Structure 1
Amino acid sequence: MRSTVKRRIAVTAVATLATGVLAACGGGSSDSDSGARDKTLVMAWSAVPPQLDPMVYTGNTVVYSTDAFLSGLLEYDYSKAGDDTVIATDELVPALAESFEPNADRTQFTFKLRKGVKSQYGNEMTADDVVWTYQRFVSNPASIQAASLMKPANVDLKNPMEKIDDYTVRYNLTAPSSISLSVVAYPLMGILDSTEAKKHATDADPYAGEWLAQNSAGFGPYQLDSIAPGEEIRMSQNPNYWDEKPYFEDVVIRSVPDGANRAQLLMAGEVDIISEPPIDQLKKIEDNSATKVNVQPDANRHNLNLSMKDPDLKKPEVRKAINMAIDREGIVESVYQGYAKPAWTPVPSSMMADQEPMIEYDPQQAAQLLADAGYADGLSIEISISSERPGPYAENIARLIQSDLKEIGVEVTIKNVPSPADFEEAVSSQSMQAYLYSDRPSQPDPGFSMYLYNGTGSALNKVGFANPQFDELVGRTLRLDLGEERDTVVDEAMDVLRENQPIFSLVEMPDITGEAADLEGRISVPSGGVPYVNLKRG
């Protein structure tokens, strides 16, 4: 396996922690615990999902959690992970399927399933499990599987997967697609043990959703032992796992909402990995001899979104002026302390190199554009923020933008929305004039990324951008397989985005975790998930 990209500076010992912080993670460990901890992976996340049914998307932590006990027909090729780019959509290897073959026009793929693969319950996987799982996906047209993954991948939602024989299935598309195989590898597309799940189905719940919310029924490396919704998840090795056994025998995931507390627990040796380490704690983690910061390439971007419903902000000239006036380099240096980089391109640079920039920083030209658009006297806007997304530094970003825009005559009022639920509801209803946000496409593909956040028919188009020319172009990208013809159409679609400026990407944020110094094997995967089988102690 490829080793991770790490930043290490081992200098000082960790400071003594408050008793209350240690209690949040179960107290200090003793020498007698060290042997057990060696084979137990303990993680502290900012949040733990309230349930684990892969059909019920309650945030990315559902993806990260179910990644441990689900396996799909294919998986990402970890050996292809690079220092600057994410694993591509065609960098896949067989998993529960031992092989796959396309037909001539790549609208069907025939998968040969591995024999002898068993779930934690001892039931062997067959074609019936694969077909049942995919039927479950499409039973709810609004599910993340059906609406956000399979639909843009041109999967035939009426007949996505059909049985040929007990160990052969056929995957059906309505048109070729560059991401049709990549979505198969997404963690939430993992195959379920239908034999076990059906035991818990009812007339009112034919696909056993209530049971699957609290139980695992996959063919992955781990099985769920317990879940305290929103608080803690415990897992242990699946004794019947089909592939090489993972190093860690047990996995514990704990919710520690406060970032500083997560960092302290890591430096105290109480946990092995923390998610979303606070930027102002990264140097301390690097300087601690027992910990390190792991920085991986990612497609995560932090944005300023402006409503297309607003009579002033919907004008391309106004949008371009505002975008041009924002000093991204200043934001990166001041807020992100050099761990991120400015975002200048229509899609993440980690998935597509050599793009023309969306905009260039030029406040003088921005002021002239605004005046030419009829706003010589300026205008006023309200930017809403949430500490949950893009993060606790949202207010600092907003203050810098406020200062930048004042230079061109745009007065900014900042509104803090304390409740993450209220903030997300306002995003979905498109009721805010402007707001800071983040996006991270689940498929590292420019066509998918453009459709997901800018397509008229996409549920994740939160700014209300609607452009028939763009929709036609991005629709064509989703019907074309990889190649020069598709590249040309992608470039044309990106030209439309440059002209209309629907989303202001400010910063490209890498995948950053704080880790124990002896932990090895964590790499960034397109889903943002955790490659559990890759992790071990050095």
Structure 2
Amino acid sequence: MRKSILALLALALVLSLGGAAFAAKDTLVVADQYDATTLDPIRHNDYPSSRACHQIYDTLIFLNDDGSFRPGLAEKWEFVSGTAYKMYLRKGVKFHNGEELKAVDVKFSLERATTELGAQIKTYSQDLKEVEIVDDYTVILHLKKENFPFFASLSHSWGSIVNKKEVEAQGENYGTPAGTAVGTGPFKFGKWDKGDKYTFERYDDYWDGKAQYKTLVVRSIPEPTARTVGLETGEVDIAYPTTTTELKRVEENPDLVLQRKPLASTTYMGFNTTKKPFDDPRVRQAFNAAIDTVGIQKAVFRGVGKTPRTLIPSNIKYSINDEIPEHKRDLEAAKKLFAEAGVKTDGWKVQIWTNERKERVDMATIIQAQLQELGITAEIKVLEWGAYLDGLKKKEHDMFLLGWGLSVPDPDYAVAGLLETGAGTNYTFFSDAKLDELLAKGRAMSDGPERAQVYKDMQLFINEQCPMLFLHNDESLVGVQKKLKGFSSSPFDVHTFYTASFEE
């Protein structure tokens, strides 16, 4: 009965998409799990917002699926020195408001990211000193110090080039439903119904060739069954993520294709290290010993992905994931560590925060049961995506479940955004001088054995301090209509839609 009710609810949700638009084949309908939080590229560091911005804006360089780069708004570049990159801009590129892209827009965009407005993306922009304008189509990016992964980060959403005039005119409304968002990308802003969907229209003057359909609609559909039903009925053309419970349903449907790729992402349970007793590494290690991370991953994800042993995913260079023994649950060790820290577990009440993603709720539920064996009562608090991120910033949580993925394939970005002191997405609020020193050292080095050693030391230190428990390395599972051609999901989880077309 419960399954029948869920299926009916899911179908009703999907039918609200509207079949007329799909029938015209002039609209691509995408089902994402969450809505964007902002369309201002420097005020976020979450995947739904990055995916939205990717459709509107371009960056100086583009990231290929194999981790290499190709020219974007910069048609070529020169490394003048370790701290100076000369970028030659394409001529004739137009913003959605009709203005031509100029060096002044690049300077404005990148330097704006170094202000307080860019606190969320500080990890990427922090070493940018200034952008020097040589002429209308040439700029030099000057860094404060050598930062080896910085160039690669220019392909990240933070490096999106905005129109200076438009941003200044919009003020605080820029990138919100009350304002607009203006880039040079393949789609221009149409309408944003916050919490439901955003609608972008094709930009016919896109410099890299216009899309073959007119309208892009991206719906926020948290319920996985609803996303799958949308694919089955044809109301949705692309849906992600496909959960383990829906996997076979998509694979076995002759009208659908499952695009499955490994992701450089880590789902983790973090501790609020500003709160007692979570500020004590022995307490965090005790939780690590008390929880069966391997069993949880297998139970929840059913053959998708794996349990990580270190923060840097194994498909990212310098990961030592395969050198570390598999995690084993040890209740006696947990009890000993709690006792050493002076924590009495019997009757202790804690909170585990999570957003509404089903797998995370399931993981939290198993963790809750395992902690109960030690007398710890864990309350699970489930929050809507935007409210969840806002709540974490206020430091009111005890523990929380979240994912972190790399849209720039460098080990620095696997760690810095989560654990560097002051990083805008450091929701554990972990702060340690040794780790900060290792991060700075690793950033300043070019690839080689010495840099590899720095990241090995870093991973071992993080495991020792245990600001988080590693729960899952994910895969990209994207359901696609078979008649949709030209779309390939990104292994970095920021997808390009304008290349798609409908088969006649």
TM category, shorter = 0.7 to 0.9
Q: In 1, Cα distance between the equivalents of 2:333 and 2:483?
A: 50
Q: In 1, Cα distance between the equivalents of 2:316 and 2:213?
A: 31
Q: Are residue 474 (structure 1) and residue 466 (structure 2) matched?
A: no
Matches within 5 A, 1:220-369: 220-352=185-317, 353-355=319-321, 356-357=323-324, 360-363=327-330, 366-367=333-334, 369=336
- Shift of residue 374 of structure 1? 6.5
- Shift of residue 74 of structure 1? 0.5
Name the counterpart of 2:128. Answer: 155
Map Cα deviations across residues 92-136 of structure 1 (whole Å, 9 max, x no partner): 1111111101123x1000011112222334332221222232343
User: Aligned letter for 1:181?
Assistant: F
Q: 1:126 aligns with which of 71, 77, 102?
A: 102
**Contact 2:259–2:477 under 8 Å retained in 1:** yes
Name the counterpart of 1:393. Answer: 359
Name the counterpart of 1:97. Answer: 74
Name the counterpart of 1:20. Answer: 12
- Shift of residue 173 of structure 1? 0.5
User: Aligned letter for 1:201?
Assistant: A
Q: In 2, Cα distance between the equivalents of 1:212 and 1:399?
A: 35
Q: Are residue 523 (structure 1) and residue 489 (structure 2) matched?
A: yes
Could you state the TM-score of these two structures normalised by the residue count of structure 1?
0.82
Name the counterpart of 1:107. Answer: 83
Q: In 2, Cα distance between the equivalents of 1:509 and 1:211?
A: 30
Map Cα deviations across residues 319-345 of structure 1 (whole Å, 9 max, x no partner): 334313432332222211222311211
Q: In 1, Cα distance between the equivalents of 2:272 and 2:192?
A: 39
Matches within 5 A, 1:318-467: 318-352=283-317, 353-355=319-321, 356-357=323-324, 360-363=327-330, 366-367=333-334, 369-370=336-337, 373=340, 379=346, 381-386=348-353, 388=355, 391-405=357-371, 409=374, 411-418=376-383, 423-467=388-432
Name the counterpart of 1:72. Answer: 59
- CA 1:210 to 1:519, structure 2 compared with 1: closer, same or farther past 3 Å? closer
User: Aligned letter for 2:113?
Assistant: F
- Shift of residue 466 of structure 1? 2.7
Helix, strand or coil at the partner of 1:128: helix
**Contact 2:111–2:128 under 8 Å retained in 1:** no
**Contact 2:109–2:164 under 8 Å retained in 1:** yes
- CA 1:421 to 1:245, structure 2 compared with 1: closer, same or farther past 3 Å? closer
Name the counterpart of 1:5. Answer: none
User: Aligned letter for 2:128?
Assistant: V
Q: 2:143 aligns with which of 155, 173, 182?
A: 173
Percent of aligned pairs sharing the same letter? 23
- Shift of residue 446 of structure 1? 1.9
Helix, strand or coil at the partner of 1:132: helix
Q: Are residue 201 (structure 1) and residue 178 (structure 2) matched?
A: no
User: Aligned letter for 1:192?
Assistant: V
User: Aligned letter for 1:101?
Assistant: E
- Shift of residue 424 of structure 1? 3.7
Name the counterpart of 2:453. Answer: 488
**Bigger shift: 289-298 or 42-51?**
42-51
- Shift of residue 242 of structure 1? 1.2
User: Aligned letter for 1:189?
Assistant: G
- CA 1:420 to 1:384, structure 2 compared with 1: closer, same or farther past 3 Å? farther
**Contact 1:24–1:256 under 8 Å retained in 2:** no
- Shift of residue 467 of structure 1? 2.2
- CA 1:182 to 1:163, structure 2 compared with 1: closer, same or farther past 3 Å? same
Helix, strand or coil at the partner of 1:181: helix
**Contact 1:42–1:253 under 8 Å retained in 2:** yes
Name the counterpart of 1:189. Answer: 159
- CA 1:368 to 1:129, structure 2 compared with 1: closer, same or farther past 3 Å? closer
**Bigger shift: 332-341 or 56-65?**
56-65
- Shift of residue 65 of structure 1? 1.2
User: Aligned letter for 1:136?
Assistant: R
Helix, strand or coil at the partner of 2:478: strand
Q: In 2, Cα distance between the equivalents of 1:400 and 1:510?
A: 21
User: Aligned letter for 1:165?
Assistant: D
- CA 1:264 to 1:109, structure 2 compared with 1: closer, same or farther past 3 Å? same
Q: In 2, Cα distance between the equivalents of 1:516 and 1:138?
A: 41
- Shift of residue 361 of structure 1? 0.9
**Contact 2:259–2:480 under 8 Å retained in 1:** yes
- CA 1:251 to 1:478, structure 2 compared with 1: closer, same or farther past 3 Å? same
- CA 1:176 to 1:511, structure 2 compared with 1: closer, same or farther past 3 Å? same
- CA 1:302 to 1:232, structure 2 compared with 1: closer, same or farther past 3 Å? same
Q: What is the root-mean-square deviation in Å for CA atoms of aligned residues?
A: 3.2
Structure 1: unaligned runs, 5 residues or longer: 1-14, 81-86
Q: Report how many aligned residue pairs link the two structures.
A: 494
- Shift of residue 358 of structure 1? 7.6
Q: In 2, Cα distance between the equivalents of 1:50 and 1:303?
A: 21
**Contact 1:519–1:536 under 8 Å retained in 2:** yes
Could you state the TM-score of these two structures normalised by the residue count of structure 2?
0.87
User: Aligned letter for 1:455?
Assistant: E
User: Aligned letter for 2:488?
Assistant: R
User: Aligned letter for 1:96?
Assistant: L
Structure 2: unaligned runs, 5 residues or longer: 1-6
